[in-house]
Amino acid sequence: MAQIAQVLVDVPTMQTNRPYSYQIPTAWQSQVQPGMRVVVPFGRGKRRVQGLVLTCDDVTTFDGDLKAIDAVVDLAPVLNQEGLQLSAWLAQTTFAFQITCAQTMLPAVMRAKYEKILRPTAQTSTAVQTEIFQGQLEVNYDQLATTPQAVSRLLRLQAAGEVDVYYQVKNQARRKTVLGIQSTLSAADLDTELAAVRKGAAKQVALLKGLQTLNGEVITQKDFHQRFDVSEAVIRTGEQKGWLTRPAIEVYRDPYATADIQPTKPLHLNDEQQVAVDQIVAAVDQPATTTFLLEGVTGSGKTEVYLQSIAAALAQGKTALMLVPEISLTPQMVKRVKGRFGKAVAVLHSGLSSGEKYDEWRRIQRHEAQVVVGARSAVFAPLENIGLIIMDEEHESSYKQDDAPRYHARQVALWRSQYHHCPVVLGSATPSLESRARAEKGVYQRLVLADRVNQRPLPKVSIIDMKNELQKHAESNFSQALLVALQDRLDRHEQSVLMLNRRGYSSFVLCRDCGFVLKCPNCDISLTLHMDTHTMKCHYCGHEEAIPRICPNCHSHKIRYYGTGTEKVEEELRDLLPDARIIRMDNDTTRKKGAHAKLLTQFGSGEADILIGTQMIAKGLDFPNVTLVGVLNADTALGLPDFRASERTFQLLTQVSGRAGRAEKTGHVYIQTFNPDHYAIRFAQHHDYEGFFKYEMRMRHQGGYPPYYFTVQITASDLDEAIAAKRMYQLLQWLKPRLSSQTVILGPTPKPIARVNRRYYYQIVIKYKQEPQLTATLSTLLQETQAQQRQGLQIAIDVEPLHFM
DNA sequence: AGCACGCCGACT
DNA sequence: GTCGGCGTGCTC
């Protein structure tokens, strides 16, 4: 019987990033298991924290008095062996604390909430009773300790034994229950009672007959009411008579309970799709793990390949995981999967409430769901016996998490596929260079869907040189050609989609007299004008202030709004095409929950002629009546100091082009740009992924960038710019002798946006091909910069960062 | 993180 | 003399 547990405590710091040994109280020795959450005392005071049991055994290397586990939170482990191993691997590869990794893998409600509470003791004087407790049995510490004086007073009272501190560790996870109905009568008793009921008591008869029908089964009161038409009052009478009990029945919060989901049948596959499905399915029960790269243009039927492969995995008694970018996890998408697999599907995405996420998670853990569809973090879904992992739109940068643990869902998917010996399918119309290059080398197996399912030609793409436009016409967001095309669609009652590349293209205010630009007081960037709230906002720290009427610098009245946000584009378009009905979709109009879906439904049902939006409209939407797609500014991303700028531009343009003409009508795409000859734009015009891949690989080779090199980014930030810079140079000196001579170190450089939230950022990028000691070196680095973290210097390591600014 | 311990300056 | 300021080290 295990007496000692190795516990990971919920204290995310470098020093506590290791297991601590705790005594398991005798009464719980058969109960406590690895993967369960516990409450343990930690530290010299009375602090109590949540912990995660890693192992249970009889020995410890710690030679001191062990403390005992205070409480066991779970009845069953929340992480199984796979989960525990995965959290350890994740911590190691992303340089994050293991407890942080474990928390990331679990539903947010499982994170403990802490409360510090004061209670009176036997020695508490009446003065303190009235002053502090005011008749209460306990009071919240934080509510009293608002000033330094109050804190020291409480500290003294505690030392004098007048008050007792107590740490409450709260589990936020709540199950939802409803009242149920359970008969307490045997079949014979029921007959007796039925015979005894007074004549004319029709409802009581109905109740008893209902209980008879149940035959001992428990159902919810609501269902009972619906099936037997017996009101709650009658049921309560029955309860008083001792005929039944009303136990609390656990129910799942189902986000799609009210959705109208029609069953869908597998579609007929074309030859290419059939080949893909056959290859994937053949790999499901192979002991070796195969990673497929499924390349298919928009409309080539990738989703059907996924669904039929999943069906085959389920038929073998296995489970399946399907990852989708957050933005394409639309209700239509969910309906399609649920329509095929029904109740076996669990959905996980950020739009769910924390309770809904918790319930979906438990359905998966209890093997009630065998198919999981979800965004990035769904890659941690507690599925067992996985037969297939699918990652759609594998090039999407939203698969990488921006803060700790900085993991890429693709890496996690590959790790889990090794664990389960199952295949992974990476699907995309425009695979990331990394994945496509691996397919080239034979690491991944390439599957290609070159034909569109209905043999429809890809849309014609026209490139409009905005340099010429500017010379011919006054400054406008719309070229003549695009306007003519828009008017033409209006006349034909067809719809258009206009995309504005948002990055670096928002409205700001500028003084025409002195050139002053209103900037954020905390960050290094100009404030953005928001007409909806009539304020200036900082997109990085959330700072907000009033729109200036006069220039704060020279007091001139000639302060004007510049730049082009979606709002301004909409305004201009309303001027140019007054008859057009326009829907705008951007961060402002979609902030409210469900607003995104609502706007899309409106557009889909023909309530508008033109949809204007940012990148978010490029993905996943499929409206048959859209025959025109316009990209207003194709090249704003191209100017960014990031080697992936071309790749992103190409992917975005290809993706948005796919929105045109998906049904009976062929589409036309207009791309407005100041760089009409840029290769990313030219290859996108001809829908030529292969051409782009080859060209871009040459560029990456010349520049020494991924996939030819691996990269690691180290960022340091401090409130004091000089300290951040100085530490970075010290770090560089420390690092240099520890890396091989082929490895390139870029920087330190201030980040392009050097100051965010009053902190100054500096970065180093390491580019390497072979560096076996790198992980160990970086771990040491983190360990050694510990003391400085205390002084306010923050150091972050990002392995294979997606953004270099 | 959060707490105790310890070492210094300005007060009842 | 002591209260309380913060720097330092530790948490099974």
d(CA A168, CA A466) in angstroms, rounded, equals 63
d(CA A56, CA A23) in angstroms, rounded, equals 10
In this prediction, residues A660-675 reach a mean pLDDT of 80
Q: What is the pLDDT of residue A636?
A: 73
CB A54 within 8 A of CB A8: yes
Q: Which nucleotides of B are covered by protein (CB under 7 A)?
A: 1-5
Q: What are residue A744's phi and psi, to 5 degrees? A: -105, 135
Of the candidates A680, A662, A600, the residue with the CA atom closest to the CA atom of residue A671: A680
For A782, what's the count of Cα atoms within 13 Å in the CB-facing half-sphere? 20
d(CA A795, CA A762) in angstroms, rounded, equals 10
Query: A148: which nucleotide lies closest, measuring CA to C1'?
Result: C4
Q: Which two tokens stand for residue A497?
A: 């989609």
Query: A6: which nucleotide lies closest, measuring CA to C1'?
Result: C12
Q: What is the pLDDT of residue A391?
A: 98
d(CA A27, CA A67) in angstroms, rounded, equals 15
d(CA A727, C1' C3) / Å: 37
Alpha-carbon dihedral of residues A467, A473, A476, A480, nearest 10 degrees?
-90
d(CA A152, C1' C2) / Å: 15
Of the two residues A502 and A210, the one the predictor is more confident about is A210
d(CA A660, CA A618) in angstroms, rounded, equals 10
d(CA A635, C1' B1) / Å: 45
pLDDT in tens, A292-320: 999 998 888 999 999 999 999 999 999 99
Query: A42: which nucleotide lies closest, measuring CA to C1'?
Result: C11
d(CA A121, C1' C1) / Å: 31
Q: Which two tokens stand for residue A89?
A: 């691997």
pLDDT in tens, A696-711: 999 999 988 999 999 9
| pLDDT tier, A369 (very low <50, low <70, confident <90, very high otherwise) | very high
Alpha-carbon dihedral of residues A573, A577, A580, A586, nearest 10 degrees?
0
In this prediction, residues A211-228 reach a mean pLDDT of 86
Query: A152: which nucleotide lies closest, measuring CA to C1'?
Result: C4
Within 10 angstroms of residue A733's Cβ, the number of other Cβ atoms is 9
The strand B neighbours among A residues 34-73, by Cβ under 7 Å, are 43-45, 47
Q: What is the pLDDT of residue A473?
A: 66
d(CA A632, CA A615) in angstroms, rounded, equals 12
Of the two residues A611 and A202, the one the predictor is more confident about is A611
Residue where the block lists tokens 């890693």: A54
- Amino acid A141 reads Y
d(CA A570, CA A34) in angstroms, rounded, equals 57
- Which residues lie below 8 Å from residue A601, measured CB to CB, with a gap of 6+? none
Query: Which residues have Cβ atoms closer than 7 angstroms to strand C?
Result: A 11, 13, 15-16, 20-23, 40-44, 60, 62, 64-67, 148, 152, 156, 787, 790
Within 10 angstroms of residue A705's Cβ, the number of other Cβ atoms is 17
Q: What is the pLDDT of residue A662?
A: 59
Query: A61: which nucleotide lies closest, measuring CA to C1'?
Result: C12
| pLDDT tier, A505 (very low <50, low <70, confident <90, very high otherwise) | very low
Q: Which two tokens stand for residue A583?
A: 């829907």
pLDDT in tens, A486-496: 899 989 999 99
The residues pairing with A796 across neighbouring beta strands, listed in sequence order, are A715
Of the two residues A319 and A622, the one the predictor is more confident about is A319
d(CA A223, C1' C7) / Å: 65
Q: Which two tokens stand for residue A508?
A: 């700001």
Q: What is the pLDDT of residue A507?
A: 64
Q: Which nucleotides of C are covered by protein (CB under 7 A)?
A: 3-5, 8-12
Report if CB A13 to strand B is under 7 Å.
yes
* Residue A659 to residues A130, A499, A628, A782, Cα–Cα distance (Å): 70, 11, 8, 46
pLDDT in tens, A387-434: 999 999 999 999 999 999 999 999 999 999 999 999 999 999 999 999
Q: What is the pLDDT of residue A506?
A: 53
Report if CB A161 to strand B is under 7 Å.
no
- Nearest-CA residue relative to C1' of C4: A152
CA A439, chain centre distance (Å): 27
d(CA A515, C1' B6) / Å: 56
CA A570, chain centre distance (Å): 30
| pLDDT tier, A663 (very low <50, low <70, confident <90, very high otherwise) | low
Report if CB A116 to strand B is under 7 Å.
yes
In this prediction, residues A553-559 reach a mean pLDDT of 81
Query: A14: which nucleotide lies closest, measuring CA to C1'?
Result: B1
d(CA A239, CA A243) in angstroms, rounded, equals 6
CB A293 within 8 A of CB A438: yes
Report if CB A117 to strand B is under 7 Å.
no
Task: List strands edge to edge, sheet with A139-140.
Answer: A139-140, A113-120, A163-170
- Which residues lie below 8 Å from residue A654, measured CB to CB, with a gap of 6+? A298, A429, A430, A684, A687, A689
* Residue A465 to residues A19, A369, A437, A630, A674, Cα–Cα distance (Å): 61, 52, 32, 13, 6
User: What's the DSSP call for residue A133?
Assistant: I
| pLDDT tier, A563 (very low <50, low <70, confident <90, very high otherwise) | low
* Residue A179 to residues A236, A238, A388, A543, A717, Cα–Cα distance (Å): 11, 14, 39, 47, 54
pLDDT in tens, A712-752: 999 999 888 888 888 899 999 999 999 999 999 987 988 87
Whether A504 has a pLDDT exceeding 70, the answer reads no
d(CA A68, CA A22) in angstroms, rounded, equals 5
Q: Where are the alpha helices (DSSP H) in A344-446?
A: 354-365, 409-420, 433-440
If you count DSSP H runs as helices and E runs as strands, how many of each does chain A have, helices first? 25, 34
d(CA A790, C1' C7) / Å: 10
Report if CB A336 to strand B is under 7 Å.
no
d(CA A788, C1' C12) / Å: 26
Alpha-carbon dihedral of residues A373, A379, A385, A391, nearest 10 degrees?
60
- Which residues lie below 8 Å from residue A91, measured CB to CB, with a gap of 6+? A17, A97, A98, A100, A101, A405
Cis peptide before A748 (omega within 30 of 0): yes
d(CA A702, CA A305) in angstroms, rounded, equals 37
What sign for the dihedral angle of Cα A697, A698, A701, A703? negative
Please tell me whether A101 is known to bind a ligand: no
Please tell me whether A56 is known to bind a ligand: no
